[in-house]
Structure 1
Amino acid sequence: MKIRTGFGFDVHRLVEGRDLWLGGILVPHTLGLLGHSDADVLIHAICDALLGAANMRDIGYHFPDSASEFENIDSKVLLRKTVGLIASKGYRIGNIDATVCAERPKLKNYIPQMQKVLAEVMNIDVDDVSIKATTTEKLGFTGREEGISAYAVVLISKD
């Protein structure tokens, strides 16, 4: 069995007039994330981690922001496509461990729903999707509520 790990990171700016999508769910907030797609930083970090683990470059390579077909796309679609890409090389997901950095909104009550949605999209057990949330104690762009970032580590394997 071949086992590989991958790391992903993403960040998007918070702006008025956009919905806040995190982990595949709509989170009530006065601001949303700016991006070519729905700007779901958590899903984007997971996609990058999966692609990196399979040595398949990154999310921007496969789903460029210059392509109109990805404009305002639901990031769950990108995640499903990413799982298909790594499967084409024979890999399956072992587990995901991710952290979202946001001063506000508080995310702890949304994490179980995010885990459920992401597990369904990736066709894995909900217990294999760990999501944590933290603040930066009012430091940096996150602390000033200018943006939200996410980190993800994944384990993939093939026989």
Structure 2
Amino acid sequence: MGEMLKYEDCGLKNIWLANGFSREEVEGLGPCLEIDDIDGLHRTIGQQLVDYKRRLTGAEIRFLRVEMSMSQKRLGDCLGVDEQSASLWERGKRQPTVAAERMLRLMYLEHIDRATRVTELIAQWNDADRPKEEGRQVFEETASGWRLAA
């Protein structure tokens, strides 16, 4: 194994690359780091984080949030907390509940495989403008089974 690279640009302090990178000379800038398939690298780092058996650190929570292109407010909304709580998690000042952390892991898995609708459903549940379902709910049996009547 040749030169190892400590890769801290992702915000995590414990990531090392054995290969898949080079240093390219860029005119006016000098040597610049070039990483092959950086999206694949970040996806693999994220996958490794959600597969961990231990609790996530603040930096790891931030990494997953950034990879999902979410603001702290949106992450907090999805996990049932305020933006300040999400910020405290990322700074290591507070830990999310186990349930919130598990939901974050599920949201990330959804983000990379697009097979589920977890985040979409949470957004629906959080929609404050949704009318309250009060009163009578009528169900009808159809050829394909029971459903809520229109």
Output the TM-score relative to the length of structure 1: 0.27
Larger radius of gyration: 2
Higher helix share: 2
Higher strand share: 1
